[in-house]
Amino acid sequence: MENIALIVGASGISGNNLAKELIENNWTTYGITRNSEVELKGLKNIKADLLDTESLEKALKDINPTHVFFTAWMKKDTEAENIEVNGRMVRNILEVLSPKKSVRHVALVTGLKHYLGPFENYVKAGFTPETPVRTEHPRLALNNFYYAQEDEIFDAAKRDGFTWSIHRAHTMIGHAVGNLMNMGTTLAVYATICKENGTPFTWPGSEAQWNGISDVIDAHILAKQFLWAATTPEAANEAFNIVNGDIFRWS
């Protein structure tokens, strides 16, 4: 049976590397973005406004994906706004695809904030999340747009009968032309500016982060987990933490 992927956010780090992985494995691969054109051989570009169902219906009229991968999100000023807009984005796409009855699996990438809460919460003094984080940990009693995205997928899965997987990545590093939300690129640019100006290359973050334990995930590894979870029956309807496996301190 042919595998037809729809990647939501194909211009991002996780989406772009996933597209490469799927194409290399002979998947028919569509990438949906709002404005950008992703230059990747084999990727079929689609442009649509994720918050406009009419735009999505038009863009997806002749496309019947078997697998949907959500790798995009929108940043707003408050977590309430994040919940509304990111939840609606997921809901819109799955509702537009629902009548087609083609979707067999839906995957979503979230991250460590599933366990720590939004930035404004876990930077507060006295907040001590349970560690190490486990996928079976209960949700925090906090507003979190990751939870809203998950709930939209869970509800649609009950309605349409597809399986799902959640991929909780941490500090993603990878290559994607034009994408600036990448700590690897940011640190490289910062170091280059410091060298050019002859200024010290000093830590730009907090003391807690400087001394804390950190880890990262290579986008190539995440892409392989996406593919594995989408094609392995035993992985259906599960959440997965994913990091490279090595831990470090910025200090």
Cβ–Cβ < 8 Å for 82, 145: yes
Average pLDDT of the chain? 92
Domain that holds residue 62: 4-174+214-249
- Among the listed ranges 21-25, 41-45, 147-151, 179-183, which one has the minimum average pLDDT value? 179-183
State the pTM of this model: 0.93
**Mean of pLDDT values over 188-202:** 95
Kindly state whether residue 206 falls inside one of the protein's structural domains.
no
Whether the per-residue pLDDT at 181 is higher than 80: the answer is no
Residue 185 located in a structural domain: no
Position 122 in a domain: yes
pLDDT, tens digit, for every residue of 120-142? Answer: 776 665 677 788 889 999 999 98
In a domain, 155, yes or no: yes
Work out how many domains the chain is built from and give that number.
Answer: 1
| Per-residue pLDDT reduced to its tens digit, 4-58 | 999 999 989 999 999 999 999 999 999 998 877 788 999 999 999 999 999 999 9
Paired tokens of 205 = 């973050």
| Catalytic positions | 113, 146
- Report the CATH number that the domain containing residue 222 is assigned in CATH: 3.40.50.720
- 202 in a structural domain: no
